[in-house]
Amino acid sequence: MSVTRPLPVAPDDHAGRAAVSVADLIGAGLVLPEAEDVLTQVAREFRLRLTPEMRAVAQAGSEGVARQFVPAAEELVIRPEEMADPIGDEAHAPVPGLTHRYADRAILHVTKTCEVYCRFCFRRETVGETGHLPPAELEAALDYVAATPALWEVILTGGDPLVLSPRRLGAVMDRLAAIPHVEVVRFHTRIPVVAPERVSEALLAALDTRLTPWVVIHTNHADEVTPAAEAAIGRLADAGVGLLSQTVLLRGVNDRPEALEALFRKLYRLRVKPYYLHHCDLARGAGHFRTTIAEGQAIMAALRGRLSGPCLPTYVLDIPGGHGKVPIGPGYLRALASGAWEVMDPKGGRHGYADPERG
């Protein structure tokens, strides 16, 4: 079931604060009043938050942005193949708050808080639950990193790691910088596009340690990259921070070559290397966003004729169950006669994967 949105309206009286309820979205003209009951039910199941920056873009008429953040009744449809932990964070957690799937790098979940809650998020079951990682668990996770010499790179994620105050973030960076075998810290974040004002001088100072910082910006549509976002990305680039992007292939948002081409060109011009195009994960209630693998392959083939090599990301599938991500291409995926796929993980294991059925 879809709820038709009203026509774009002027910014509302509460433009300076985030929208955190269905009533806020109604006041902003982003959903119709008659949708309140069903969308309140959705918001009880999956958290809702929309920053002023993204709300203004949605109000200006960007369906590609609104669809990512405004709840929809379709989220109440849970398909049998969908999972609470589709990429297997918990399956590779030696201590709370840390995922160690690959030998030389680990994911540190410093927070479960985000500035926006995406309607397709693969961590939507846990984000927003308990705020930041408790001090004792953070210390245990950092102790694990210090005691594991193979760990060369630490990836800060969450939630969104850049929601941490510069003071708190700086303390984590200093602790990691004191571990001799850690050389690189990577941040996976939406902040530069959804809350660009947070990319402040204090935040940049917190990133300035002996470690090499990389920021991977999650953005899915060119409309997200507003003038304020461009300025924030420029501040990161000028500070010497390496910049990559990751994008999720989403039905109704960017599942056309033209939409992705516009996004990747804009990012490349801003000194951001498009890094990954993710096939949409099997998160609960996100089935209406998923394309088929064949559709994604066709889009990538079209983009290869339009964009230069550095402007193209790698199209990847995070194998359900925590088996790691692989490029969607020869050597990793094999089409079966049944119409499903056989996927080989990085360790040589083989797994079945079925595309969503379309009515």
Q: Could you give the residue numbers annotated as active site?
A: 101-102, 105, 114, 118, 121, 123, 281, 318, 325
With a CB cutoff of 8 Å and minimum separation 6, the contacts of 243 are 214, 215, 216, 217, 233, 236, 237, 270, 271, 272, 273
Neighbours of 338 (CB within 10 A): 8
Q: Which residues pair with 217 in a beta bridge?
A: 189, 245
Per DSSP, the three-state class of 316 is strand
With beta carbons less than 8 A apart as the criterion, state whether 70 and 288 touch: no
Could you tell me the two tokens for 173? Answer: 């960076």
**Which stretches of 78-212 are DSSP H helices?**
135-146, 166-177, 191-194, 201-206
Token pair for 113: 């808080």
Q: How far apart are the first and last CA of the chain?
A: 13
Number of Cβ atoms within 10 Å of the Cβ of 325: 18
Residue in the structure block whose two tokens are 């680039």: 237
How would you class 1 by CB atoms within 10 Å of its CB: exposed for 0-12, middle for 13-18, buried for 19 or more?
exposed
Alpha carbons 85 and 338: distance in angstroms, whole number? 26
At 281, the amino acid letter reads D
Rounded CA separation 132/107 (Å): 15
User: Quick check: 27 and 52 in contact, CB under 8 A?
Assistant: no
Read off the tokens for 64: 């590609």
Q: What is the Cα–Cα distance from 101 to 104, expressed in whole angstroms?
A: 9
Record the tokens describing residue 83, joined without a space.
Answer: 């999972």
